[in-house]
Amino acid sequence: MTARGKLLTGLMTLAFLACASGQNPEPTVLPVGPATVAELKGDVTFHSPTGDALTAQHGTALAAESKIDTAKGSVVLNLQDGSQVLVKSNSHVVLKAPSQDKGFWLELLLGKINAQIQKRLGNEPSFRMGTPTAVITVRGTKFSVDVNKKQKTSVEVYEGLVEVSGIHGGQIGAPVLLHPGFSTGVDQDRDPEQPHGTQNRDMNDGRANAGFGGMNRGDHGDDQHQKSGSQPNNPGSPDHDHEDDH
């Protein structure tokens, strides 16, 4: 075979191998975190799971165990399930992997968040989050969670139903069920307070709407008032009942 023939044969062989490899390409696995940054305002610090400082901007993916500290700033997070969380100023949040450990999406250790959680259908697992004193479980709702310096957790509901449990020595206690317009508080090693109606609250500030317009108004919405009333006598768990209300 001439040198030219050998060259042509080699080129044809390479072309064949390239086509064959193209028919069964190796899958590309991209790292995907539990949340991405949707909006960012003011002084916010991000740290990776290993403690390294992160430079985050719109669209930045954050891995599980990433830490977020807001000073005079705030950040909106898009979660993988379509939910959104607004982390208010002076807050400390740790992102979690919901498929692992306690099933939490995040932990709020200090400060306040507003959350709009995507509705769960059928056997889809509920959204769960933790604080130093409570576990919050929902299947699609709008609510706020506040943790003060004494680690007391306060939960207020704007739409849907929210189940709140206290933590006793690392164990989850009996829950209370919050309906819209009601709130509860959870102190260390205590069960949640009985739900009580909320009054004179800033509803736009609490309702983590899709656009989180509160950020564009300096984290404050227009004052509106929610009438207080009696908690409906309709016990149950968001995991099993009331799915049409969420």
What is the residue extent of each domain of the chain?
Answer: 35-221
d(CA 178, CA 196): 9
- List the beta bridge partners of residue 135: 130, 165
CA–CA distance, 215 with 221 (Å, rounded to integer): 9
Residue with tokens 């009601």: 182
- Compare 212 and 43 and report the one with higher pLDDT: 43
Q: Which comes out higher in pLDDT, residue 214 or 183?
A: 183
d(Cα 98, Cα 47) in Å, to the nearest integer?
Answer: 19
Kindly tell me if the per-residue pLDDT of 222 is higher than 80. Answer: no
Decide if pLDDT at 30 tops 90: no
Which of 154, 99, 155 is CA-nearest to residue 127?
A: 99
Predicted pLDDT of residue 232:
52
| 107-111, 124-128, 210-214: which is most confident | 107-111
Question: Taking the model in full, what pTM does it have?
Answer: 0.72
Cα(42)–Cα(59) distance, integer angstroms = 17
Q: Return the pLDDT at 39.
A: 97
- Report the C-alpha gap between 87 and 217 in whole angstroms: 15
Average pLDDT, the chain: 78
Bridge partners, residue 67, by sequence? 47, 94
Q: Looking at the DSSP assignment, which residues form a beta bridge with residue 85?
A: 77, 115
User: What is the spatial distance between Cα 126 and Cα 66, in angstroms, rounded to a whole number?
Assistant: 22
Mean pLDDT across the stretch 56-80?
95
Q: With respect to CATH, is domain 35-221 assigned 1.10.10.10?
A: no
Segment 94-109 shows an average pLDDT of 93
In this prediction, residues 166-174 reach a mean pLDDT of: 90
Mean pLDDT value across residues 164-178: 92
User: What pLDDT was estimated at residue 74?
Assistant: 98
